[in-house]
Amino acid sequence: MLRTTTTLAAGLIAAATVGWADADDNELVINGEIEITTEAAAPAYVEGLSEIYSGWRFREVDTQATQMDDFDNPAFLAVDAAKEVWDTVEGEAGKSCASCHGDVMESMKGVRAVYPKWNETAGEVRTLAMQINDCRTENLKAEAYDYTSDEMTAMEALISVPSRGMPVNVAVDGPVQSTWEQGKEMYYTRYGQLELSCSNCHEDNYGNYIRADHLSQGQINGFPVYRLKNTKLNQVQDRFKGCIRDTRAETFKPGSPEFVALELYVASRGNGLDVEAPSVRN
Amino acid sequence: MDFTRRETLAMGAGAALLSFMPFRANAAAVDDLIAEFTGGAEMGDAGVELNAPEIAENGNTVPIEVSAPGASAILLLAAGNPTPPVAKFAFGPLAGSQTASTRIRLAGTQDVIAIAQLGDGTFARTSKTIKVTIGGCGG
Amino acid sequence: MATGVKPRVKVPGSASAGEVITIKTLISHQMESGQRKDGDGNKIPRSIINRFTCDFNGENVIDVTMEPAISTNPYFEFQATVPETGEFKFTWYDDDGSVYEDSKSVTVG
ipTM value of the model? 0.94
Residue B20 has pLDDT above 60, yes or no: no
Residue B26 confidence (pLDDT): 73
Residue B33 has pLDDT above 80, yes or no: yes
Q: Can you list the residues of chain A whose pLDDT is less than 50? A: 1-2, 4-19
Of A229, A234, A239, the CB nearest to B58: A229
Torsion angles phi and psi, residue C64, rounded to 5: -110, 125
| Pairwise CB contact (< 8 Å): A80 & C26 | no
Query: What average pLDDT score do residues B98-124 get?
Result: 96
Of B55, B56, B136, the CB nearest to A211: B136
Residue, of B67 and A23, whose pLDDT is higher = B67
Q: CB of A83 within 8 Å of any CB in chain B? A: no
Helix, strand or coil, per DSSP, at residue A211: strand
Residue C22 confidence (pLDDT): 97
CA distance linking residue C39 with residue A238, whole number of Å: 19
Torsion angles phi and psi, residue A160, rounded to 5: -75, -30
Contact A124, A205 (CB under 8 A): no
pLDDT level of residue B135 (50, 70, 90 thresholds): low
Q: CB of B56 within 8 Å of any CB in chain C? A: no
Provide CB contacts within 8 A for B38, sequence distance 6+.
Answer: B115, B117, B123
- How far CA C106 is from CA of A31, A59, A236, C16, C99, in Å, comes to 22, 37, 41, 10, 23
Kindly list the residues from chain A whose CB atom is less than 8 angstroms away from the CB atom of residue C73: 74, 77, 231
Kindly list the residues from chain C whose CB atom is less than 8 angstroms away from the CB atom of residue A231: 71-73
Kindly list the residues from chain A whose CB atom is less than 8 angstroms away from the CB atom of residue C8: 71, 76-77, 80
Measured CB to CB, residues of chain C less than 8 Å from chain B are 20-22, 33, 35, 55-56, 59-72, 74-81, 83
Contact B68, B48 (CB under 8 A): yes
Query: What average pLDDT score do residues B76-83 get?
Result: 94
| Pairwise CB contact (< 8 Å): B58 & A228 | yes
Residue A4 confidence (pLDDT): 46
Provide CB contacts within 8 A for A16, sequence distance 6+.
Answer: A208, A209, A210, A211
Residue B15 has pLDDT above 50, yes or no: no
Residue A213 confidence (pLDDT): 84
Of A60, A213, A239, the CB nearest to B136: A213
pLDDT level of residue B25 (50, 70, 90 thresholds): low
CA distance linking residue A31 with residue A70, whole number of Å: 7
- B90 → chain C, closest CA residue: C63
Residue B5 has pLDDT above 90, yes or no: no
- How far CA A89 is from CA of A93, A156, B85, in Å, comes to 9, 18, 45
Kindly list the residues from chain B whose CB atom is less than 8 angstroms away from the CB atom of residue A210: 135-137
Provide CB contacts within 8 A for B101, sequence distance 6+.
Answer: B63, B64, B65, B66, C75, C76, C77, C78
Residue B136 confidence (pLDDT): 54
CA distance linking residue C7 with residue C103, whole number of Å: 10
Residue A22 confidence (pLDDT): 83
Query: What average pLDDT score do residues B29-48 get?
Result: 94
Q: Please, which chains are in contact with A (at least 3 CB pairs closer than 8 A)? A: B, C
Residue C35 confidence (pLDDT): 86
- A76 → chain C, closest CA residue: C8
Binned average pLDDT, 10 residues per bin, chain C of 109 residues: 78 96 96 89 93 98 98 97 97 96 95
State the DSSP string of A53-72.
E-GGGGS-HHHHHHTSSTTT
Of C24, C71, C73, the CB nearest to A71: C24
State pTM to two decimals. Answer: 0.87
Binding-face residues of C in 21-80 toward A, CB within 8 A: 24, 26, 28, 71-73, 75
Size of interface B-C (CB pairs under 8 A): 100
Torsion angles phi and psi, residue C66, rounded to 5: -110, 140
CA B30 to chain centre: 11
